[in-house]
Amino acid sequence: MTNFLYVFRTRWNADPRQAVSLSQFVLIQLMRDVIWAVCALVPISIIAVVRWLWPQVIPFHLFEFWAFKGPYDQLILMALGLLAVGFVINLPKLILTLNHPQMSQQAETVFKFGFLISLRAGILEELVFRWLLFYSWMWILYLLNRIIFSAPELVYTHYFADILNATTARQLAPFFLSMAWNVGAAIGVSNGKFRDGHLYQGKTGVAIAYLVGFFFFYIMFHHGLVAAMIIHAVYDMFIFGLLYMDMAAERKILPILVERYRHNRLFITVLRLLIPARSRE
């Protein structure tokens, strides 16, 4: 997540003319989500059947983690901590780079896009990575273990269980060490898929996404999947809010600075380094 704003701005700055209208964006995403929902019925059905026939393979009820649970003060503190981390990580990128002028002029529209993107990501990414993939990998790994002579179980119990437990500072120890091996392994694999979905953010972004993914697993196990969705969406909205304030500030202040210091060579040099190349064409 660390380079999220940078990637968003880079894509816009590359060619802002490719931006679609808000209504087009909503329609496209709605069509994709309808298709996704239909396709998701297949793994959900498989999970339900496996859970019914072999409950030891998936030791959780299908909707076990959907309830919204407290204590709410702890949940709020964790959410504020995540927002603080996001603020510290993204603020330097906002300060040290400039947006495309056209992007800044459409700051309100970008924020509306961001609100919808954040809401969608918070809901769908948690559904996919913390629920569907997690439950699916439990039975897939169990089946693979039976086919290839317990190799996955041996590798997990002797190596990855302790690594994952250390990575999460023992906060998920009951799931990695005490429950059936395929539960902890499914958490690791599902979170690995979540991490790989952020490869476009670079090495640092991937590392942070990996840790944040475990954070959302912790939220789901202790406070419910809905809580994880809400915090995920709020975090993304918060980041887009920072971007909006940055764009609005540049839209108001930058023209004044350019008018005042347009003959200052140092100012012009710094401006050329910060502002996207296409903005100067």
Instruction: Please report, in tens digits, the pLDDT of each residue of the chain (281 residues total).
Output: 444 455 555 555 555 555 556 667 677 777 888 888 888 899 999 999 999 999 999 999 999 999 998 788 999 999 999 999 999 988 888 887 777 777 788 888 888 888 888 998 899 999 999 999 999 999 999 999 999 999 999 999 999 999 999 999 999 999 999 999 999 999 999 999 999 988 888 888 899 999 999 999 999 999 999 999 999 999 999 999 999 998 898 888 877 777 787 777 787 777 677 665 434 33
Name the pTM for this structure.
Answer: 0.85
Residue whose C-alpha is closest to residue 121's, from 30, 233, 35: 233
CA atoms within 13 A on the CB side of 134: 28
Residue whose C-alpha is closest to residue 216's, from 179, 173, 187: 187
Q: How far is CA 232 from CA 94, 131, 157, 220, in A?
A: 21, 14, 31, 11
Q: Are 116 and 25 in contact (CB under 8 A)?
A: yes
Q: Are 216 and 229 in contact (CB under 8 A)?
A: no
Predicted confidence at residue 257, as pLDDT, reads 78
Residue whose C-alpha is closest to residue 4's, from 127, 114, 133, 95: 114
Token pair for residue 261?
Answer: 């210091």
The angle at the Cα of 198, spanning 194 to 204, to the nearest 5 degrees, equals 115
CA atoms within 13 A on the CB side of 177: 12
Predicted confidence at residue 71, as pLDDT, reads 85
Number of structural domains (the chain) is 1
Predicted confidence at residue 52, as pLDDT, reads 96
Number of other CB atoms surrounding residue 65 within 10 Å: 23
Predicted confidence at residue 57, as pLDDT, reads 97
Q: Is 65 helix (H, G, I), strand (E, B) or coil?
A: coil
Q: Tokens 């994952």 belong to which residue?
A: 164
Distance CA 130, CA 142 (A): 18
Token pair for residue 197?
Answer: 């979905």
* Cis amide leading into 71 (omega within 30): yes
Predicted confidence at residue 280, as pLDDT, reads 39
Q: Which domain holds residue 229?
A: 4-280
